[in-house]
Amino acid sequence: MRTAFSVIFIIAILAMGVCSIIAQRSRRSIGPAVAFLMASFTLPVLGNLLLILYSNELFAWIGYYIYFLGMDVMMFALIRFTFKYCNMTWPYKAVEILINSFFGLDLLQYILNPFLHFSFSIEPIIVDKTVYYRLVPYLGQTFHRFLDYGIFLAIIILFIVKAVRSPRIYRERYTIILIAIILGGISESFYIFSRTPMDISVVGFVVVGMFIFYFSIYYRPMRLLDRMLSDYVSGMGESLFFFDGNKKCVWANDPGRRLLEIEARNYEQVEGKMKAFFQGGEPQSETGEWKIERSVGEGADIRYYVIEKRILSDRKDQLEGYFLSFRDQTEEKKKYLVEKYNATHDHLTGIYTKDYLFERIREKIDAHPDEQYMICYFDVNDFKLVNDVFGNEFGDLVLCRIAKRIESESSEFTLYGRLIGDTFGICVPKSRFNPKHLEDLLSHFVVSEGNRETQITVHIGVYEVKDRNLEIAVMFDRARMALSTIKGDYQTHIAYYDDKMREDVLWAQRITNELPKALEEKQICPYLQPIVGPDGRILGAEALVRWIHPEFGYMPPAKFIPIFEKNGMIADVDKYMWRSACEILSGWKENQKDWFLSINISPKDFFFMDVAAEIKKIAEEYKINPGQLRVEITETVMMTEIEKRIQIINELRNAGFLVEMDDFGSGYSSLNMLKDMPVDIIKIDMAFLTKSTDDVKSKTILKNIVTLSENLGIESLTEGVETKNQYEMLRDMGCRMFQGYYFAKPLPLDEFENYSKAS
Ligand code: C2E
Ligand code: CA
Ligand code: CA
């Protein structure tokens, strides 16, 4: 008996010791409190061990002391533990002091007991022929018991209050400890009333100790965790379905049950509903896990889900089950779709924006390497005029109608969008490219609203995609380049890009940039081509522009005049030429030379300046006799604003300048013009006549023109005279002035002057 108990007690002490060390080392904040409590449990057991181990009175005394004082330490430790476990502090400092003084008092009475004998005494008894010492309690012992039981009871009450007041899921935490403490209390009471020296109840302490140790250091209440997790998961927006290893649904959260319309917790329904959801079967993947996007429903009711399957396996990679999550991202998706639409569609016309059109064309060209494509650049003619005349609102309407038109006429193979302003881009497979249809698309297209109406025509530049690697923007640049060659042309609607065009454009860009410097540095200068009379004597000269380029050398006007006529810079060139001519004339004036000079006026000049005023101003500046300056104007000048032009010509003539009709016979209505255009001289170009194969006819026409002009009181000058024959023939016809290679080519000023001396 004795040995058996001793062994149990020693094991208990060791066990408590080990628990104490583990608790101390654990990182949990309650660790020290548990460690102290576990250590305190060893004291009563140690006391008891001494009592049963030795049949000696002194050891019995020591044993009892250790036992009782150990009980106090244990209560003290239990208070600390309780406070820590329940997250409490002393409500009043006074209470703490009172309790501690009771412990002090208890300690004092035990210290005084050997002298005053009022706590307890001991008496020997024989059990199984062995002497033990039994406790004889006095008043002091009662105080001790009241103190310890009081505290014990208070702690029990505290735990009960905690258990009742805490949320349901935390109740377990308190009830477990409460039960342990109550069991400990019961076993202790058993000892008190049994009055045997061998306190079996201390074994109960150990059990209670282990219990407390385990629950406060190791145990994580799974029910709590379970509860928390499921509450958390239910509250999530995602729909979740958990399946066991046999693909049976074991749980779904509220959104999940709502999604598949599953009644209460009838997870049996999940399988069927899931099958219906994944018509055509669930997605498959190698790992078994996947993530897809799915939309359900149509129109306004459409909903978008991101569905994910995740496998759940334990640490040994054993399949435990899996779960499916459905994240409803309808709002985000709809927002995204709206944003994407806005970013990729023109806000006015609703068709693709330039950037998006380019992106789509790139994809298309890359995706169909065997298909040839045409890139078309549409430009609405005179759109600015529409805006100016009818207002921007109507202009916007016109653009919308054009977009609609393009949309309705395009097939699924065509990509189209608005480029910028009044320009639209189209990409169409070559096999479906129909230029006639393209032209019809927007020629004779009338937009009307209310009393406003306008006829729309377009110019189309086309680039056939030869180099597929070109950036789409460059392809459109080329189409636009083609378009720029027919801008302002009302006959031609479609122009096709070729490589020469590109070179031309680059050339145009280059010389346009270089012109201001060229004028400043006098790279531009007049060459003079002599004009002679019937006797071969020089009467004057025509000033013809040349550009002596630092890199390209001598450049005839054909290389640059058409370009500057297009971009308006011709006005700068001409003003410069007129000024140069006047400068030369003023030089001749000083040298008593009475030659005249003819200057050329481009029809475009009339758009950029007041031609008459400008010429008068320069002539005055150089103090020129107006009779020395002749002004060459082609009949094309009379194509627009005839009245105004006639006025300008008259203004020049009234100022004393002679006006010549240049290139007579080159146009369709030269003869007709003669009656409207008030000129002094007509300049007939031999080249136009000699082109004809019928020499006799040419001659007849020429003869008649000369006679006609004579009758009208207009002098005639023939240019392009290349042979002696031509010269003599024209002279016989009555022509009075001649110009041509037969006499001289256009010459630099000094050469001209030398030439004049020679002739
Ligand atoms: P244009 O006014 O009809 O000038 C006559 C052109 O015929 C000149 O060419 C001249 O070199 C050329 N020519 C003269 N005699 C003969 C000949 O016997 N046979 C042939 N085949 N050609 C002859 P150029 O100098 O190359 O000028 C070409 C055109 O450039 C001019 O035609 C004129 O329209 C324009 N141009 C020249 N200088 C100016 C200028 O200063 N201002 C403007 N606006 N245009 C100019
Ligand atoms: Ca001329
Ligand atoms: Ca001419």
Q: Kindly report the CATH number assigned to the domain that includes residue 29.
A: 1.20.1070.10
What is the distance between the alpha carbons of residues 256 and 390, in angstroms, rounded to a whole number?
60
Look at residue 692 in the predicted model and tell me its pLDDT.
Answer: 63
Q: Ligand 1 within 6 A of 740 CB?
A: yes
Look at residue 584 in the predicted model and tell me its pLDDT.
Answer: 97
Amino acid (one-letter) located at 165: R
Q: Ligand 1 within 6 A of 210 CB?
A: no
Closest CA to 537 of 686, 725, 731: 731
Q: How many CB atoms lie within 10 A of CB 423?
A: 19
Residues 124 and 209 reside in one and the same domain: yes
Q: Ligand 1 within 6 A of 741 CB?
A: yes
Look at residue 350 in the predicted model and tell me its pLDDT.
Answer: 94
Q: Ligand 1 within 6 A of 529 CB?
A: yes
In the reported structure, the alpha carbon of residue 733 is separated from the centroid of ligand 3 by a whole-number distance in angstroms of: 20
Closest-lying ligand 1 atom to the alpha carbon of residue 601: 44
Q: Ligand 1 within 6 A of 528 CB?
A: no
The answer on pLDDT for 236 being more than 80 is no
pLDDT in tens, 68-124: 999 999 999 999 999 999 888 888 899 999 999 999 999 999 999 989 888 999 988
460 with 412: CB under 8 angstroms?
no
The answer on pLDDT for 195 being more than 60 is no
The answer on pLDDT for 418 being more than 60 is yes
Tracing tokens 């950037």 back to the chain, one arrives at 355
Residues 30 and 68 reside in one and the same domain: yes
Q: Ligand 1 within 6 A of 544 CB?
A: yes
Look at residue 81 in the predicted model and tell me its pLDDT.
Answer: 93
Task: Tell me, yes or no, whether 198 lies in a domain.
Answer: yes
The answer on pLDDT for 221 being more than 80 is no
pLDDT in tens, 25-57: 988 888 999 999 999 999 988 988 888 888 788
Start-end of H helices in 451-498: 472-484
Q: Ligand 1 within 6 A of 545 CB?
A: yes
Start-end of H helices in 591-669: 605-608, 611-621, 642-654
Q: Ligand 1 within 6 A of 634 CB?
A: no
Residues 107 and 157 reside in one and the same domain: yes
What is the distance between the alpha carbons of residues 305 and 283, in angstroms, rounded to a whole number?
14
672 with 713: CB under 8 angstroms?
no
Look at residue 458 in the predicted model and tell me its pLDDT.
Answer: 87
Amino acid (one-letter) located at 530: P
Residue 282 φ then ψ, to 5°: -70, 155
Tracing tokens 């001659």 back to the chain, one arrives at 699
Q: Ligand 1 within 6 A of 722 CB?
A: yes
603 with 630: CB under 8 angstroms?
no
38 with 48: CB under 8 angstroms?
no
Ligand that comes closest to the CA of residue 529:
1
The answer on pLDDT for 529 being more than 60 is yes
Ligand that comes closest to the CA of residue 632:
2
Pocket test for ligand 1, best of 527, 532, 544, 602 (most atoms within 8 A of CB): 544
Q: Kindly report the CATH number assigned to the domain that includes residue 267.
A: 3.30.450.20
Number of domains present in the structure of the chain: 4
Pocket test for ligand 1, best of 532, 719, 725 (most atoms within 8 A of CB): 719
Residues 328 and 354 reside in one and the same domain: no
pLDDT in tens, 510-522: 999 999 999 999 9
Residues 489 and 570 reside in one and the same domain: no
Look at residue 194 in the predicted model and tell me its pLDDT.
Answer: 62
Q: And the tokens for 634?
A: 């082609």
Q: Kindly report the CATH number assigned to the domain that includes residue 440.
A: 3.30.70.270
Look at residue 751 in the predicted model and tell me its pLDDT.
Answer: 96
Look at residue 455 in the predicted model and tell me its pLDDT.
Answer: 87
Domain that holds residue 86: 2-219
Characterize the bridge pairing of strands 629-634 and 658-664: parallel
Q: And the tokens for 133?
A: 């010492």
In the reported structure, the alpha carbon of residue 286 is separated from the centroid of ligand 3 by a whole-number distance in angstroms of: 84
Look at residue 301 in the predicted model and tell me its pLDDT.
Answer: 86
What is the distance between the alpha carbons of residues 619 and 632, in angstroms, rounded to a whole number?
16
Look at residue 553 in the predicted model and tell me its pLDDT.
Answer: 96
Closest CA to 178 of 215, 150, 206, 147: 215
Residues 538 and 485 reside in one and the same domain: no
Name residue 540's beta-bridge partners.
531, 596
Task: Tell me, yes or no, whether 506 lies in a domain.
Answer: no
Look at residue 161 in the predicted model and tell me its pLDDT.
Answer: 92
Residues 680 and 531 reside in one and the same domain: yes
The answer on pLDDT for 666 being more than 90 is no
Average the pLDDT over 225-251 and give the result: 81
Q: Which helix (H) or strand (E) holds 77?
A: helix 57-85
Closest CA to 456 of 464, 465, 446: 446
Residues 547 and 688 reside in one and the same domain: yes
Q: Ligand 1 within 6 A of 184 CB?
A: no
Burial class of residue 478, CB neighbours in 10 A (0-12, 13-18, 19+): buried
* pTM of the predicted model as reported, rounded to 2 decimal places: 0.56
Residues 689 and 740 reside in one and the same domain: yes
Residue 539 φ then ψ, to 5°: -105, -30
Residues 489 and 575 reside in one and the same domain: no
Look at residue 441 in the predicted model and tell me its pLDDT.
Answer: 74
Q: Which helix (H) or strand (E) holds 501?
A: helix 499-520
465 with 447: CB under 8 angstroms?
no
The answer on pLDDT for 691 being more than 70 is no
Closest-lying ligand 1 atom to the alpha carbon of residue 719: 15
Q: Which residues of 74-86 are buried (b: 16+ CB within 10 A; e: fewer)?
A: bbbbbbbbbebbb
Start-end of H helices in 661-735: 670-676, 686-690, 695-712, 724-733
Residues 538 and 614 reside in one and the same domain: yes
Residues 293 and 423 reside in one and the same domain: no
Name residue 737's beta-bridge partners.
717
Average the pLDDT over 124-128 and give the result: 82
pLDDT in tens, 276-324: 888 877 888 888 899 999 888 888 888 899 999 998 887 677 777 889 9
